[in-house]
Structure 1
Amino acid sequence: MVAAGRRGRGGGAAARADDTAHTGPSATVVRLRNRAVATLGDRLRRVHAIGVLALQAGLAAALAWLLAHEVLHVAQPVFAPISAVSTLAASVGQRLRRTVELIIGVTVGVSVGDLLLAVIGTGWWQLALIVALAILVVLFLTASAAVVLQAGATAVLIATLSPSVGHLEIPRFVGALVGGGVALLVTAVLLPLNPLRVLNRAARPALDLLSTQLDATAGALAEGDAGPARTALTELRQNKDELRAFIEATQGAREASTLSPVHWRERHGPVARYAQAAEPIDRAMRNTGTLIRRAVSLIEDGEPVPKPMPEAVADLAEAVRLLQRQFAVGHEPRQAREQALRAVGRAGHAYREGVGFSGAVVVAQVRTTVSDLLVATGLTQDVANRLVRRAFGELGRSADTNPDG
């Protein structure tokens, strides 16, 4: 029996080993294939997102070379396409500034390099002195890393190549002007970015994060389960990348709508509204963090949760979604305002039904977050506060007969 048992166990182990030999590699292949598909999808999305940048860079480099070589007759116009690509490599919204920095850096590098070469000549220690002095002069004028890089690189070129290549400073300076100017021409006129699309792509993750965590918190309050709210709080705290991308996109959208004649009409309309929303949305996310933290305490402490309270939080999540959708199509976000004020009305009714300490804070944070969202829709802070106070009182009192506020 024992032997049989051992043989049985041994046979089972052998069978498992045999199964592993047959299924293990295929399972590994499946996992690798799934990972490769996921990676391929990520790569394709990345290419799609920056495909326009690649086209802009290629076009700008070609035009800069043609202009410098064929029109201005620069013999070796290598600096022009380099300057064009360098300008386009800057973040969207920083390209005009990058062009100015490029020209300043080249000017300082050329000036310092030419001056010192005439006085101290060439050599390894002269190179060190020229580069160090060029960087120090730039640091005195500005703290921009881009200017420092351009000044140092130009000083190196002047100190090392000027003895063998005459008048190097002229093509270097012309290259900076031509490359930067062509890069701006490409982004503003030939292949302009759509500022609303730039904003939508950057704002969507931040607003999705906010609405999703508010929905999770509303569910946690309705079910009396603090777990989803704790998870929502953790997720919301990891929002720095989304907010930074959104803020950078507002700069890019302003630049695109200012430089591009195609989008001039949008700079005082949808783009301006959308761009001005970044700061109040940042505040709304921070106030939502306090709301969720207090919702966790409310549930854990066993405080009363009036039915309108989770409904108010769910209404707030819907207001964020409406804000995103209406901004995306360039519409005045009136529906988002109405939905946000509906959330305040339900919060007022919850307060009158009776809440504990943490519940009162949740209600207060609903009011504060709605005020932030109203400012994000383009209202002034005073008007937003007045509408919130009115909705909290009037809609709260009428909630029995009109649940929609």
Structure 2
Amino acid sequence: MLRVRVRRLWLSLVPIAQCAIAAGLAWFVAFDVLHHSRPFFAPVAAVASLGLSLARRWRRSVELIVGVSIGILVGDLVITQIGSGAWQITVVVAAAMAVAVFVDGGPMLPTQAASSAVLVATLLPPGDVAGYERAVDALIGGLIGLLVGALVPVNPARRARRDAAGILDTFRDLSHQLAESLRERDEEAVYRVLAEARGTQSAIDGLRSDVLAGREVGTLSPMYWASRERLRRIAATADPIDNAVRNFRIVTRRALGLTQRGVAVEDPMIAIIDDIGDLFETLRQMMLAEPGESPDQADAARAVRSVVRRARTSLADDVEDLSEAALLVELRSLLVDLLMVAGLKRSSAIAQLHLNK
């Protein structure tokens, strides 16, 4: 548990540093350069526009700046006319959220507008600072947040590669466990494999989020413009990995059904499941390899093709249970996904199966 927490902290050090630098810099610009007397919204906007989440920072920053500006302006305008108090806060929040919803249908804008209006109506009443200064402070904070995110970036490829490698590592082990469970005809062990496979969706979601974040960093940060092609290749693996995970779950469910009915899966089919575990490992190594290192996509594709050649439909010619034939179909579908992880287009991957019927 301590190791997990330390690793989580380690992976968050760069985002934490970004937020800290952006907050201090936003205050400096607003207070020391522009001489705003209470630039509260500058560091708040800077931190909120960055946060610990790396995805959708550009959109989040724009929504935050617009939302805070609406809240400030509406709050200043309304509170100046009707004063402060409980019912006045109700009116201010309703007015700010209504304007924000009219401007944009996203969830963040109304929330930011309401929060800013409440601050104006309570902690920062109008009169001490001009309303436009608060809006300018929010703009400064949001822009500085984006600037710091671009100049002090997280490596856009590293997180996505790590996520993908972690998923492939998990399914390498699960494939080998499933093969062993089928050899032993161990129903409980097959069910455990299925349960663990079902619990990996959060990892898939994390991969997609980090792929999106990597593309944003690759777009905004000049330091990583040269990495855009590599980011594109990594991003192209997200859907095939997701599909491979889903197909593996289907394979495991069919295997569980066979085991529950006392059907012994044929040894050649179990060997293919075992080999797929080795393919997951090859693809994991491919993800972590630096450009020019092995295995590359071509190496991985060759490894997958070698298993495709053994997963011929003729393996199902002598099976007695139709579900075992369906299991082979799902295994072949899983191999298509793995070919796509290795860089093949879907049409080319399916063609490989047709060549090896």
Note whether the superposition's TM-score is higher than 0.5. Answer: yes
Distance 1:358 1:79 in 2: 62
* Residues 315 and 342, structure 1, Cα contact 8 Å, conserved in 2: no
Deviation at 1:231, TM superposition (A): 1.4
Matching of residues 228-243 of structure 1 within 5 Å: 228-243=189-204
* Residues 56 and 213, structure 2, Cα contact 8 Å, conserved in 1: yes
Instruction: Go from structure 1 to structure 2 and tell me whether the alpha carbon gap of 1:65 and 1:170 turns closer, same or farther (over 3 Å shift).
Output: same
Paired letter, 2:205: R
1:46 aligns with 2:8: yes
Deviation at 1:298, TM superposition (A): 3.0
Which runs of 5 or more structure 2 residues have no equivalent in the other structure?
A: none
1:367 aligns with 2:332: yes
Instruction: Go from structure 1 to structure 2 and tell me whether the alpha carbon gap of 1:69 and 1:170 turns closer, same or farther (over 3 Å shift).
Output: same
Instruction: Go from structure 1 to structure 2 and tell me whether the alpha carbon gap of 1:173 and 1:90 turns closer, same or farther (over 3 Å shift).
Output: farther
SS in 2 for 1:46: helix
Deviation at 1:200, TM superposition (A): 2.6
Deviation at 1:97, TM superposition (A): 1.4
- 1:206 maps to 167
- 2:181 maps to 220
* Residues 311 and 328, structure 2, Cα contact 8 Å, conserved in 1: yes
Deviation at 1:100, TM superposition (A): 0.4
- 1:260 maps to 221
Residue in structure 2 matching 1:77, options 39, 42, 52: 39
Deviation at 1:385, TM superposition (A): 0.7
Distance 1:348 1:166 in 2: 75
Identity across matched positions, percent: 35
- 2:312 maps to 348
Deviation at 1:296, TM superposition (A): 2.5
1:165 aligns with 2:165: no
1:188 aligns with 2:150: yes
More deviation, 365-374/354-363: 354-363
SS in 1 for 2:330: helix
Paired letter, 2:256: V
Q: What does the per-residue CA deviation read over 1:347-387, in whole Å, with 9 as the maximum and x for residues that have no partner?
A: 21761663231221121111111112222333222111111
1:335 aligns with 2:335: no
1:386 aligns with 2:330: no
Distance 2:221 2:274 in 1: 40
- 1:35 maps to none
Distance 1:125 1:299 in 2: 66
Paired letter, 2:128: V
SS in 1 for 2:150: helix
1:283 aligns with 2:243: yes
Paired letter, 1:100: V
SS in 1 for 2:306: helix
Matching of residues 19-38 of structure 1 within 5 Å: none
* Residues 168 and 284, structure 2, Cα contact 8 Å, conserved in 1: yes
Deviation at 1:109, TM superposition (A): 1.3
1:177 aligns with 2:139: yes
Paired letter, 1:258: T
- 2:63 maps to 101
* Residues 265 and 324, structure 2, Cα contact 8 Å, conserved in 1: yes
* Residues 344 and 370, structure 1, Cα contact 8 Å, conserved in 2: yes
Q: What does the per-residue CA deviation read over 1:207-248, in whole Å, with 9 as the maximum and x for residues that have no partner?
A: 222222111112223344333222111111112221221111
Q: What does the per-residue CA deviation read over 1:50-92, in whole Å, with 9 as the maximum and x for residues that have no partner?
A: 1112211221112112222232222222321111111221521
- 1:33 maps to none
* Residues 309 and 350, structure 1, Cα contact 8 Å, conserved in 2: no
Matching of residues 318-329 of structure 1 within 5 Å: 318-329=278-289
Matching of residues 297-308 of structure 1 within 5 Å: 297-303=257-263, 305-308=265-268
* Residues 84 and 179, structure 1, Cα contact 8 Å, conserved in 2: yes
Distance 2:309 2:260 in 1: 25
Instruction: Go from structure 1 to structure 2 and tell me whether the alpha carbon gap of 1:305 and 1:41 turns closer, same or farther (over 3 Å shift).
Output: closer
Distance 2:66 2:342 in 1: 39
* Residues 198 and 252, structure 1, Cα contact 8 Å, conserved in 2: no
Residue in structure 1 matching 2:23, options 47, 61, 71: 61
Q: What does the per-residue CA deviation read over 1:252-303, in whole Å, with 9 as the maximum and x for residues that have no partner?
A: 1111111111111222x22112122222211211111111122233344444
Matching of residues 243-258 of structure 1 within 5 Å: 243-258=204-219
Distance 1:217 1:81 in 2: 52
Instruction: Go from structure 1 to structure 2 and tell me whether the alpha carbon gap of 1:126 and 1:319 turns closer, same or farther (over 3 Å shift).
Output: same
Deviation at 1:196, TM superposition (A): 1.6
- 2:233 maps to 273
Aligned residues: 351
Paired letter, 1:278: A
Distance 1:344 1:223 in 2: 25
- Structure 1-normalised TM-score? 0.80
Deviation at 1:146, TM superposition (A): 2.5
Paired letter, 2:351: R
More deviation, 47-56/134-143: 134-143
Structure with higher Rg: it is 1
1:112 aligns with 2:74: yes
* Residues 304 and 354, structure 1, Cα contact 8 Å, conserved in 2: no
* Residues 270 and 327, structure 1, Cα contact 8 Å, conserved in 2: no
- 1:22 maps to none
Deviation at 1:329, TM superposition (A): 2.5
More deviation, 178-187/372-381: 372-381
Instruction: Go from structure 1 to structure 2 and tell me whether the alpha carbon gap of 1:81 and 1:111 turns closer, same or farther (over 3 Å shift).
Output: closer
Deviation at 1:203, TM superposition (A): 2.5
Which runs of 5 or more structure 1 residues have no equivalent in the other structure?
A: 1-38, 394-405
Distance 2:216 2:85 in 1: 44
